[in-house]
Chain A
């Protein structure tokens, strides 16, 4: 139980285009979802927190107009990287927190490459 999926697992897009990443909690309701970014050989950095039905809260330094987060249901949150640039290439990981207790459950991550 407590499975979180991400789709796609890998995506390559051209500079200037937008890409959407989905995060789903498969067997529980996620009241809160978190989005992290991880650059090669670095740790995870929290980008934003999204609560179902409300606007996401972004961490300092994260552009909310560039990284659009939607948490439309208790099982789905999406991250859209708008007008992607090569420096946005990274590993994006989501996690979900909900009715299972006090820990976050992590998705397998999405590797974004912007060419």
Chain B
């Protein structure tokens, strides 16, 4: 069965420190890959996406992610975290052949210490 795993439920990071959020997927083919951020009570904001090509993807707000086919991973990184980055982060995967339906990981809540 297709699945998306975000192993870390919570991550606490100091402001200015680097951040890495993990995402692993299990799909029969290489899917489209996405990272979204959600602030409390709000909708989703797309940070970045991977469809094909360069496996290092740059997104908004200083985030980047690297697709590693051999590890079925799409980890999100930010070199220096700001207090405003405190939020819930979701990894999602989709397949065009599956009608572009998205499967979401369980989410990682990021807390930023001053």
| Residue positions of A touching B, CB distance < 8 A | 32, 34, 42-46, 49, 91, 93, 95, 97, 102-104, 106-109, 111
**Complex contact B43–A108 (CB within 8 A):** yes
Q: With A43-B90, A102-B32, A103-B49 in contact, is A109–B100 under 8 Å at CB?
A: no
B102 at the interface (CB under 8 A from A): yes
A107 to B49, CA, bound (A): 18
B25 → chain A closest CB, angstroms: 14
Residue A46 contacts which of B96, B101, B105 (CB distance < 8 angstroms)? B101
Can you give 30 contacting A-B residue pairs, CB < 8 Å? A32-B99, A32-B100, A42-B106, A42-B107, A44-B44, A44-B102, A45-B104, A46-B101, A46-B102, A46-B103, A49-B99, A49-B101, A91-B41, A95-B102, A97-B100, A102-B32, A102-B96, A102-B100, A103-B34, A103-B49, A104-B94, A104-B100, A104-B102, A106-B43, A106-B44, A106-B46, A108-B42, A108-B43, A109-B43, A111-B41
A90 → chain B closest CB, angstroms: 13
